Amino acid sequence: MDDHQRISAKLSKFVPSLTLELKRKVAQRRAEGLPVYDFGLGETKGHLDERIRAAGEQAFREEHTMYTDPAGLPELRDAVLRWLNLTQHYTRDDVVVTVGAKQALFNVFLAVTNPADAVLFDAAPWVSYQPLAVTAYAFPVMVLPLGARAQGAKVTPADLIRNLDARPHAKLFLINNPCNPTAQLYSADEIEALLRICVERRIYFVLDRLYWRIVFDGRAYPEPRVDAETRPWLIQVDGMSKNFRRTGGMRIGWAVGPRDVIAAMVNLQSHYTSGPATPTQRAALAAIDRPYEADMVRELEAKRNLLLREAADMPHVTIWPTPATFYSFWDVTGCFGRRKPDGALLKTSDDVAKYLLESAGVATASGSAFMQPGFLRLSFATSNEDITAGMAAARKALGATN
Ligand code: PLP
């Protein structure tokens, strides 16, 4: 039997996620004793909040280790509505707790699409949207903005309408606000315009709001309109992974949406995960069922500012103050056509990322993983020392090109 018979045609085409490959390269450099400034991974650091840890410990001590409702602990679903300020509009039956936001997204695709239905993504889709959609037999389509792009890649109403006209089988439009990787933030008006089109066209508007607490410069998160008109078409996905320190591995996410869609998602996950682990659901409850403490957000904003200062006048790249998340998104097209000291040409963002890592120890994520091949994503959720030293190393390496 050859490999193609052993592994399904669909999965044999999958490539491992970019971040895993990055992790491997970074570990290899560290093992060789070479310097590494790691801007690659999208994960918050620091210590786990004491109350989250204590709730998890208590859950095990008190043996809360049996199966729960596959929709999630009822008290956690209630708390999700308070966390998202949605108690006026939904009840716990409109919430499903999932194994990370990933499973919530996968559930959505499986719950609402038939084979070959189109699912429309924002122009810089997060790396796993496409594999998840394809696994659900849906047909992923990137909505590419035609207008001039400035500091991101926002989809306009005209872009969405053009794509919907071309795709009569479109079932949903998925948008990530704020966005990994571009760190752009759609305004409330921009969200409203896109949501209104989805409602008019009777397609789902799926809002991945995983980074929604991490917005800077005193901005408020642009909440989507929830009322009788939008509720049948609006699905919000969120979770524990980004808005707290060190919680990505808790694997808790959730979705809030129309009851029939949520019921289908619960039905589905009752057959394959039965929901996330009960003790971690209890730990998540301790995290979200109290006023949000924004110290991590303030710290990340200071890191964004530090990076901007340290990267001022970085040769051949354009950098701007990103309004949200913990990413800086660099336009590196100015490096294309330049030569490394060994004479090799830099032609793509993959080349630039590789050059920065190999010559300066600066690990970044190439935009090609997000369909943005002229860009690099840098996570500044790292130490201040690494930001300062990493920017100096990147400046030296980029300055050495000609
Ligand atoms: N959506 C976006 C935009 C993400 O960046 C991530 C994780 O990096 C996810 C969804 C998946 O989140 P989780 O780790 O909760 O499954």
Residue to substitute in 129, 210, 247, 250 for testing ligand 1 pocket (most ligand atoms within 8 angstroms of CB): 210
Reduced DSSP (H G I as helix, E B as strand, rest coil) percent helix, strand, coil of the chain, to 5: 40, 15, 45
Query: β-pairing, 204-208 with 170-176?
Result: parallel
Q: From ligand 1's centre to the CA of 41, what distance in Å?
A: 12
Determine the residue type at 26: V
Residue to substitute in 19, 96, 97, 126 for testing ligand 1 pocket (most ligand atoms within 8 angstroms of CB): 126
Q: Identify the pLDDT of residue 299.
A: 97
Q: Identify the pLDDT of residue 134.
A: 93
Q: Identify the pLDDT of residue 175.
A: 97
What's the pLDDT tens digit per position in 281-299? 999 999 999 999 999 999 9
Instruction: Let me know: does 243 contact 284? Beta carbons within 8 Å.
Output: no
Q: Dump strand ranges (E) for 128-184.
A: 139-142, 170-176
Q: Parse the chain into domains and list their residue ranges.
A: 3-46+294-399, 50-288
Q: From ligand 1's centre to the CA of 301, what distance in Å?
A: 20
Domain 50-288 of CATH type 3.40.640.10: yes
- Taking the CA of residue 21 as centre, how many other CA atoms within 13 Å lie in the half-sphere pointing to its CB? 12
Strand partners, 326: none
Determine the residue type at 21: E
Atom of ligand 1 nearest to the CA of 252: 15
Instruction: Let me know: does 212 contact 13? Beta carbons within 8 Å.
Output: no
Q: DSSP of 245-314, one letter per residue?
A: TT-GGG--EEEE--HHHHHHHHHHHHHHT-SS-HHHHHHHHHHHSSPPPTHHHHHHHHHHHHHHHHTTT-
Q: From ligand 1's centre to the CA of 352, what distance in Å?
A: 25
Evaluated on CA atoms 347, 331, 160, 90, the torsion sign reads positive
Query: β-pairing, 375-379 with 327-331?
Result: antiparallel
In sequence order, the 6+-apart residues with CB closer than 8 A to the CB of 210 are: 101, 176, 180, 237, 238, 239, 241, 242, 243, 253
Q: DSSP of 351-368, one letter per residue?
A: HHHHHHHHHH-EE-EEGG
d(CA 240, CA 252): 6
Q: From ligand 1's centre to the CA of 101, what distance in Å?
A: 6
CA angle 97-87-196, nearest 5°? 90
Which regions of the chain are under pLDDT 70? 1-4, 17-19, 147-151
User: 237: burial class by Cβ within 10 Å (0-12, 13-18, 19+)?
Assistant: buried
Q: Which two tokens stand for residue 258?
A: 């129309």
CA angle 213-85-109, nearest 5°? 75
Atom of ligand 1 nearest to the CA of 251: 15
Please give the DSSP secondary-structure letter assigned to residue 347: -
Atom 5 in ligand 1: which residue has the minimum CA distance? 180
Residue to substitute in 180, 235, 371 for testing ligand 1 pocket (most ligand atoms within 8 angstroms of CB): 180
d(CA 338, CA 399): 10
3-state SS, residue 237: strand
Pocket of ligand 1 (CB under 6 A): 42, 100-102, 126, 176, 180, 208, 210, 239, 241, 248, 253
Atom of ligand 1 nearest to the CA of 240: 15
Instruction: Let me know: does 363 contact 350? Beta carbons within 8 Å.
Output: no
Q: From ligand 1's centre to the CA of 180, what distance in Å?
A: 9
Atom of ligand 1 nearest to the CA of 253: 15
Q: From ligand 1's centre to the CA of 104, what distance in Å?
A: 10
CATH of domain 3-46+294-399: 3.90.1150.10
Q: Identify the pLDDT of residue 149.
A: 67
Same fold, 3-46+294-399 and 50-288: no
CA distances from 245 to 47, 114, 186, 295 (A): 6, 38, 25, 10
d(CA 313, CA 15): 36
Atom of ligand 1 nearest to the CA of 126: 3
pTM of the model: 0.96
What's the pLDDT tens digit per position in 304-356? 999 999 999 999 999 999 999 999 999 999 999 999 999 999 999 999 999 99
d(CA 189, CA 205): 15
Q: Identify the pLDDT of residue 1.
A: 52
Q: From ligand 1's centre to the CA of 106, what distance in Å?
A: 11
Q: Which long-range contacts (CB under 8 A, 24 or more apart) does 238-241 make?
A: 238/80, 238/83, 238/84, 238/101, 238/104, 238/208, 238/209, 238/210, 238/212, 239/98, 239/100, 239/101, 239/104, 239/210, 240/284, 240/287, 240/288, 241/100, 241/101, 241/210
Q: From ligand 1's centre to the CA of 356, what distance in Å?
A: 26
Evaluated on CA atoms 389, 391, 394, 399, the torsion sign reads negative
Query: β-pairing, 95-98 with 253-256?
Result: antiparallel
